[in-house]
Chain A
Amino acid sequence: MNAAKIHQKIAFFILGLVTLIVVIPILMIIFYIVKNSIGAINWEFITQAPRNGMREGGIFPAIVGTIVLVVGTMLFSLPLSVLSAIYLVEYAKDNFFTRLIKLSVVNLSGIPSIIYGLFGFTLFVLFLKLGTSILAGSLTLAIMSLPVIITATKEALESVPLSFREISLSLGATKWQTVRYCVLPYAIPGILTGTVLSLSRAAGETAPILFTVAAFYLPRLPRTVFDQVMALPYHLYVISTQVPNMPMKLSFATCFVLIALVFLMNLVSVILRAHFRKKKIW
């Protein structure tokens, strides 16, 4: 064996070792959360409201709150992002204005979530006088999700072959008919995958909902869209930093439910992608 081969062995061994350093903590964290929460997860924990300053009972209002916020976020962000992506890909001419929009979308995706929280607080809570409400929180999370869904939709639309559009147009269809019947149906899988992924991120975010919707302790369900709600990530933040003598196993169980929800949504997007890929005909 010559020197170069020995070098290679050593180098690859080090690379493998470093990768192990990345991977092991991930597995340890998941194992640690599962191990510590296993005793506290039961039917009561998932379906009851918290009691005794959150030190007993369950997290049902927080679960409902997070689901309500995710649905609200989807209602606002999905139509807006799909329409603007269709405009950008199918209609917009390549001029200064279009480039400005594309640049803004790229930059929006890199803005810290706390800035979205600050923006949502001023615009929706104070200026539009929506108060700290489901409406304000959903709108804030929706704006945060916009760039991700727009980018996913753009990629999905761009991956539909150009010949589909040419054939439709040559048969006398209008531009909109072409987009509606010959492009959009084939882009749906990509759009759905991107949407579910961005919603799973919205479900786990804490900073944007801090001042726009999250309630510290509210052991009942929301009645209107102007109510505050508890939300899982904020609840986890509160019980791990603000509540003294919090039983550890409840914190771990909350952690587990939050992670399970986020993983479930990721799994849905993986399954969707695999399902539609099989049906792809071109």
Chain B
Amino acid sequence: MGEFLFGRNWLPISEPPKFGIVPLVLGSIYVTVGAIVICVPVGVAAAMFIAEVAPNSLKHILKSLVEILASIPSVVLGFIGIVWLSPFLKNTFELPTGMCGLTGSLLLAFMALPTIISISEDALVSVPRTYKEAAFGLGATRWQTLWRIVLPSALSGIIAGVMLGIGRVIGETMVVMMVTGNSPVVPKSILRPLRTLTATIAGEMGETVSGSEHYFALFAVGLVLFIITFIINFIADSFLRRAKK
């Protein structure tokens, strides 16, 4: 148990096998943190633009585009990552390989955007009109109203959207399996190949003998993943509830 949670080596087919999930957890954390740093500010800003700034006709177009992004299957984005984004990053930053944490982070950020944008936008739109009218009445500009009145009032809903987006990022499998280089070592930086919890299950489950130690280790990885996403969803749900009141 201790070796499973704190072991720094994941070597399932060596002799004797080692099942330490530290490299996998770190892989997941690197990729997720990278994605959050990108998608939270971008998503909230886009939601603010769609909810309060864009004229009606543009609003409809933008919302349909975000829905289109939400419906693109993850394996398609993984494919785009292989043929387009990873060679681009490799050449731009002169990396040894484009299959690294950063590629995964960028794609995952992109995948989490629809969740964050649509829930934040709902939260911004559902702020009572009277708040805004009161601010305008006092001579505030639209931007001052948006920044100081509407945004703080919608904060619970926005946090819920962000948490659900993070849940989606941590649980995403195909994209990270395809573009992060699949190497279960403790990653030195986000620019190196790494492997997440999800990609480990997806990559190794097909090859294990059922009932073996490896098989149960993969289930334990699944359990860790389940507990993490459960906690995130629970937080998101409690913020959603608060936003409704």
B76 to A255, Cβ gap below 8 A?
yes
- Chain B residues near A251 (CB-CB < 8 A): 79, 83
Query: Which of these, B65, B73, B170, contacts A23 with CB under 8 Å?
Result: B65
- Chain B residues near A237 (CB-CB < 8 A): 75, 78, 174, 178
**Shortest Cβ gap from B186 to chain A (Å):** 22
Interface Cβ pair total, 8 Å cutoff:
171
**Shortest Cβ gap from A60 to chain B (Å):** 19
A110 to B205, Cβ gap below 8 A?
no
- Chain A residues near B158 (CB-CB < 8 A): none
**Shortest Cβ gap from A198 to chain B (Å):** 11
B232 to A15, Cβ gap below 8 A?
no
A111 to B229, Cβ gap below 8 A?
yes
- Chain A residues near B57 (CB-CB < 8 A): none
B49 to A18, Cβ gap below 8 A?
yes
Whole-angstrom CA separation of A207 from B74 in the bound complex:
10
A 225-263 contacts with B by CB, 8 A: 233-234, 236-237, 240-241, 248, 251, 255, 258-259, 262-263
Known contacts A12-B53, A15-B48, A32-B84: does B69 contact A112 (CB below 8 Å)? no
Known contacts A29-B80, A118-B205: does B233 contact A107 (CB below 8 Å)? yes
B171 to A115, Cβ gap below 8 A?
yes
Query: Which of these, B66, B73, B80, B117, contacts A205 with CB under 8 Å?
Result: B73
A 251-277 contacts with B by CB, 8 A: 251, 255, 258-259, 262-263, 266
- Chain A residues near B113 (CB-CB < 8 A): 22
**Shortest Cβ gap from B158 to chain A (Å):** 15
A118 to B222, Cβ gap below 8 A?
yes
Query: Which of these, B69, B174, B219, contacts A206 with CB under 8 Å?
Result: B174
Known contacts A22-B117, A115-B226, A206-B75: does B67 contact A266 (CB below 8 Å)? yes
Q: Is B155 an interface residue (CB 8 A)?
A: no
Q: Is B135 an interface residue (CB 8 A)?
A: no
Query: Which of these, A4, A206, A211, A258, contacts B206 with CB under 8 Å?
Result: A211
**Shortest Cβ gap from A40 to chain B (Å):** 14
Q: Is B131 an interface residue (CB 8 A)?
A: no
Give the contact-size bracket for chain A.
35 or more
Q: Is A5 an interface residue (CB 8 A)?
A: yes
Q: Is B156 an interface residue (CB 8 A)?
A: no
**Shortest Cβ gap from B101 to chain A (Å):** 18
**Shortest Cβ gap from A113 to chain B (Å):** 6
A204 to B42, Cβ gap below 8 A?
no
**Chain A residue with Cβ nearest B84:** A32
Among B43, B65, B77, the one with the most A-chain Cβ atoms within 10 Å of its Cβ is B65
A211 to B76, Cβ gap below 8 A?
no
B225 to A112, Cβ gap below 8 A?
yes
B144 to A8, Cβ gap below 8 A?
yes
Query: Which of these, A32, A111, A206, A240, contacts B82 with CB under 8 Å?
Result: A240
B49 to A4, Cβ gap below 8 A?
no
- Chain B residues near A126 (CB-CB < 8 A): 210
The contact sample of 25 A-B pairs, CB cut-off 8 A, is: A4-B143, A15-B45, A19-B50, A19-B62, A21-B42, A22-B69, A23-B65, A29-B77, A32-B84, A106-B233, A112-B229, A114-B173, A114-B225, A121-B205, A201-B71, A204-B73, A206-B75, A207-B174, A207-B198, A210-B202, A211-B205, A233-B73, A236-B76, A237-B78, A237-B178
What 8 additional pairs, Cβ within 8 angstroms, besides A18-B42, A27-B65?
A22-B117, A23-B65, A32-B80, A111-B230, A114-B201, A118-B218, A201-B71, A207-B174
The 4 closest A-B pairs by CB, nearest first: A112-B171, A204-B73, A110-B233, A8-B143
